[in-house]
Structure 1
Amino acid sequence: MLHDVKLALQFLTRLPIRTGDPAGMAAIARAAWAFPLAGLVVATAAGLTFLLADRIGLPPVLAAILALAASMVLTGALHEDGLADVFDALGGHAGRARALEIMRDSRIGTYGTLALLVTLALRAGALATLATPGCVALALLGAACLSRAAMAVTMALQHPARPDGLGAAAGRVTPARATLAIALASLCLVAAAGPAPALSTLAAAAGMLAIAMHWTHRRLGGFTGDTLGATQQLVETTCLLAAVAGQHMG
């Protein structure tokens, strides 16, 4: 289990972790249950950054931007890159083959730029609205864990969209490991927000995951490394917005 946690951290962050697993990328599917734990590490770094910014007197919006910057440094903006690639590929009317080709292009286009701007603005705005370091840390914890569990669920329910690339190399996740990922993320969410808010956030995240999976299945026929990153970003943004809505209603 510890080896799987190391694999998840190696795959989803820039932390200098070496596992030397002989299975290579194929081991990622085995370690998918630990994806939420990698999210926990990223959320901790972002939450501490927000706390530090708040302590030195920065306003919530600047603290929120710095918290997101910390998370991107820790992950190497891996998921943001996937989001931009997916929106560039699927934002227009390109067919499946052309869309997969666009996703391999390292350049960023209009759709990808707009997707990054909108999601970053929504995430920063949500954190700034939550304002207090405690509320921000709890929201980040739930969103980071649940959005990475969504990646495991996608890998369990969809086939790789092409015979090569990260999706094909990693393979499909077993239902048991995907269920464990959701259970871990749900426990973190309940611990962070409480049962009632956690239930509404889970519902919102499930809705966004369903939309993302339907969209990528219809246009691509399955998942790629980029669609996993895009799914993480969309679900995380949804969770943070749900946290703001829950605070307002509460």
Structure 2
Amino acid sequence: MKDALAQFGLAIQFLTRIPLPFDPGYTPERMARSPAYYPLVGALIGGICAGVFWVAALGLPAFVSVVMALAAGLLLTGAFHEDGLADTFDGIGGGQTKESALTIMKDSRIGTYGTAALAIILLLKASALTSMTGSLVVAALVAGHALSRLSAVMVIVTSRYVRDEGTGKPVATGLSSGGVAVALLTGALIVALWPLFQPLPAVLYGLGGLITGHVLMRLVFEPKLGGYTGDALGAVQQVSESGFYLGLLIWL
């Protein structure tokens, strides 16, 4: 239990800017196993964003409330995943070879491809969420953040890390079958709880959109890179989350 709590704490520290009231006790082994708790951290982030939306919607228009919820997510994570999305599109769009793509992705500056991708993804999320009822937005934010981080974990499990070092290196190895089971069970619990708040078909459509986003994003970077980077994980999370919201819209 102590080791699991430490891994959860490290996952929070890695994915967010949320301060912890305790020192999780970093070790390379614990860090490598921490992706098991990424979906749970995602649910935490989504829950806070949903709370911001709900409070804002008491007195503000839906679009403004959605923007405030998205801004809360950016603050909570330090735009960690959005930065990965932008870097991935800059690298894949501007790099002619694997090596040049990886070099561009390490550049802290944002280029045309990254700017366009970031603008499109934020607009997609904002417009999709604004088109939903308030109660569906709350459910969508919690499930979308959790399940999209499970989507990123599936990349870690099924692909290979292509850098010798980098943001994703500490979590690229060490995720055991038990850790994968924890991540999958967290995602399954999110889906199982969904019918308590919204119709079951909605989340199935959302999952279809999420899986589509997952596959399409991997088709963008894996052929050129031959695997993934930490930036690519952020891109998968962002596109999967957006795909989940778009799937819900198709259901509507």
**Could you tell me how far 1:245 is from its partner in structure 2?**
1.8
Residues 194-216 of structure 1, C-alpha deviations (whole Å, 9 max, x = no match): 43322232232222212222332
Aligned residue for 2:12? 9
Aligned residue for 1:196? 201
Q: Look up the SS of the partner of 1:49 in the other structure.
A: helix
- 2:53 aligned with 1:50: yes
For 2:240, which of 225, 235, 240 is the aligned residue? 235
**Could you tell me how far 1:20 is from its partner in structure 2?**
2.5
- Counterpart-to-counterpart distance in 2, 1:69 and 1:101: 29
Amino acid at match of 2:34: A
Residues 39 and 147 in structure 2, CA contact (< 8 A), matched pair in contact too: yes
- Counterpart-to-counterpart distance in 1, 2:133 and 2:37: 29
Alignment of 1:89-128 (within 5 A): 89-128=91-130
Residues 88 and 105 in structure 2, CA contact (< 8 A), matched pair in contact too: yes
- Counterpart-to-counterpart distance in 2, 1:203 and 1:92: 30
Residues 131-179 of structure 1, C-alpha deviations (whole Å, 9 max, x = no match): 41x2111011111010001111111111111111123332233344234
- 2:159 aligned with 1:154: no
- Counterpart-to-counterpart distance in 2, 1:171 and 1:93: 23
- Counterpart-to-counterpart distance in 1, 2:250 and 2:87: 29
Aligned residue for 1:140? 141
**Could you tell me how far 1:87 is from its partner in structure 2?**
0.6
Alignment of 1:23-62 (within 5 A): 23=28, 26-56=29-59, 58-62=60-64
- For normalisation by structure 2, the TM-score amounts to 0.90
Number of paired residues?
Answer: 243
Q: Kindly report structure 1 stretches of 4+ aligned residues shifted beyond 6 Å.
A: none
Q: Look up the SS of the partner of 1:16 in the other structure.
A: coil
Q: Look up the SS of the partner of 1:164 in the other structure.
A: coil
Residues 129 and 137 in structure 2, CA contact (< 8 A), matched pair in contact too: yes
Residues 77-122 of structure 1, C-alpha deviations (whole Å, 9 max, x = no match): 0000000000111124521000000011010011111111111001
- Alpha-carbon RMSD: 1.6
After superposition, the Cα gap between the structure-2 partners of 1:185 and 1:158, relative to the gap in structure 1 and judged at 3 Å, is same
5+ residue gaps, structure 1: none
Aligned residue for 2:171? 170
- 2:214 aligned with 1:209: yes
- Counterpart-to-counterpart distance in 1, 2:224 and 2:114: 16
Q: Look up the SS of the partner of 1:91 in the other structure.
A: helix
5+ residue gaps, structure 2: none
Amino acid at match of 1:51: W
- Counterpart-to-counterpart distance in 2, 1:52 and 1:128: 15
- For normalisation by structure 1, the TM-score amounts to 0.91
Amino acid at match of 1:209: H
Residues 146 and 186 in structure 1, CA contact (< 8 A), matched pair in contact too: no
